[in-house]
Structure 1
Amino acid sequence: MPASPPAYRLAIFDLDGTLADSLGWFLGAINLMAGRHRFRRVEAHEVDMLRGQGARQILAHVGLPLWKLPAVTADMRRLMSRDIATIRLFPGVDDALAQLDASGMALALATSNSRANAERILGPQNSARFRHFACGSALFGKRGKYEKLLHQAGVRAAEAVSIGDEIRDAEAARACGLDFAAVAWGYTLPDALQATAPRALLHDMDELLAFLLGQKPASAGVHASAMR
């Protein structure tokens, strides 16, 4: 019996926290940025509390004004470029992207990271599986990136889905009329993501493939608790 066609024509992936396991790096980098750009450090006991909040709440907590964001973001990208060898993809990403690409679904990447960093983290084989890129977006610029990717792909919002790990991903997707699938292994805690009413809350790569391709999840997937 032939396989069913994918549920969507276009899947728009976030990078950090969704495909790339960069939270540990980020927590160290943000405190380095705090010293350079004069905002409050994040203490170890605050991490879980902040992982339950949206980006604007986090910025307010550390006292980082919006006007400083472009300089901080650019500095973070440069720092990640230096540390790129320490950033790894989550287990199962290579196989998941290969299966999605083979299904005929178009893959796109929307990230505030630079394209150079993204391609180095993904590697040449995975990078080649993405047909469209929208990189270097401002922290709150994802709606525009989603709209650009839909236009590039020639796909209606109803035919596309955003896959991400942050509340701002959910908000941008909703503003564009996109379905949003949240991953439970990234920067934001699952309960906070569930509160955004995603189309799906995915706990491992088997669930991601099942959601996007209509497959039955394998009995022994790489669960969110084992992703780090």
Structure 2
Amino acid sequence: MSTHILFDFDGTLVDSLDAAFTAFRQIGPEFGCAPLSRERLERLRGMHALEVVHALGVPMYRLPQLATRMRRAMRADLMETAPIEGIGEVLETLLQRGHRLGILSSNARASVREYVRRHRLPGLDAVIGGTGLFGKAGALRRQARSQGIAPRRLVYVGDELRDLEAARDARVRFAAVAWGYTPLKSLATGGPDFQCRHPRDLLSIDVERP
């Protein structure tokens, strides 16, 4: 029986950190945020998204607006950013092994689909987008129900603590990656099912374990 593997987008399939940093330096001051330096960014990377929002001084009621503005500002740079090195070959191998692949992201579905098409990432035709920063758990549960599979036969691959928490809430398995926004040592404290230091490690996880 095949396993469904869903990938986060930012930081997991594409290294979007520079695009996000540039966009925030443009947009952040409009929301009352102090200029963000590279040094401060590195300190924030080990924090949960809610802690980051608090540290930056963004009121929660303005967070959806900030996220929308950020996505728009990032789009052009993001489209020109290459996928994570080696991820295309890993996706191809997972497809050959019979696994069903897709993307679940807080980014707009149309933008993610355009990126996948432009960079020819194989097997990622199913894109669930626009989940919001903290709406992934519900989306994971809905995906399991719509596909008629047990949640434990679904693996979510991501790079943030909020991704891990969403997987836990939805009772799906989680693969933490080392090449994204949050350092792997921070993700490891949440007890992910799998830890991947390189994209090829995704080929070694026990995706068939019920």
2:155 counterpart (127, 152, 161): 161
What's the secondary structure of 2:133's corresponding residue? coil
The yes-or-no answer on 1:193 pairing with 2:187 is yes
Deviation at 1:65, TM superposition (A): 1.4
Deviation at 1:130, TM superposition (A): 2.5
Deviation at 1:182, TM superposition (A): 0.2
Question: Is the alpha carbon distance of 1:185 and 1:125 closer, same or farther for their aligned partners in structure 2, counting shifts above 3 Å?
Answer: closer
1:87 counterpart (65, 81, 85): 81
Following the alignment from structure 1 to structure 2, what is the Cα–Cα distance between the partners of residues 79 and 176?
31
Deviation at 1:121, TM superposition (A): 2.0
Deviation at 1:48, TM superposition (A): 1.9
Contact 1:13/1:163 (<8 A) preserved: yes
**Which string of whole-angstrom CA distances, capped at 9 and with x for unpartnered residues, describes residues 168-200 of structure 1?**
000010011111110000000111011111111
Which stretch of structure 1 is more off in the superposition, 84-93 or 136-145? 84-93
Identity of aligned residues (%): 30
Aligned length: 208
The yes-or-no answer on 1:26 pairing with 2:20 is yes
Which stretch of structure 1 is more off in the superposition, 123-132 or 182-191? 123-132
Structure 1 gap segments, 5+ residues each: 215-228
Amino acid at match of 1:73: A
The yes-or-no answer on 1:99 pairing with 2:113 is no
1:39 paired residue number:
33
- The 5 Å alignment of 1:1-228 reads 9-123=3-117, 126=120, 129-211=123-205
Structure 2 gap segments, 5+ residues each: none
Amino acid at match of 1:101: L
Contact 1:20/1:121 (<8 A) preserved: no
Deviation at 1:63, TM superposition (A): 0.5
Deviation at 1:128, TM superposition (A): 6.0
Amino acid at match of 2:83: L
Amino acid at match of 2:185: D
What's the secondary structure of 1:52's corresponding residue? coil
Cα RMSD of the aligned pairs, angstroms, is 1.9
Deviation at 1:59, TM superposition (A): 0.3
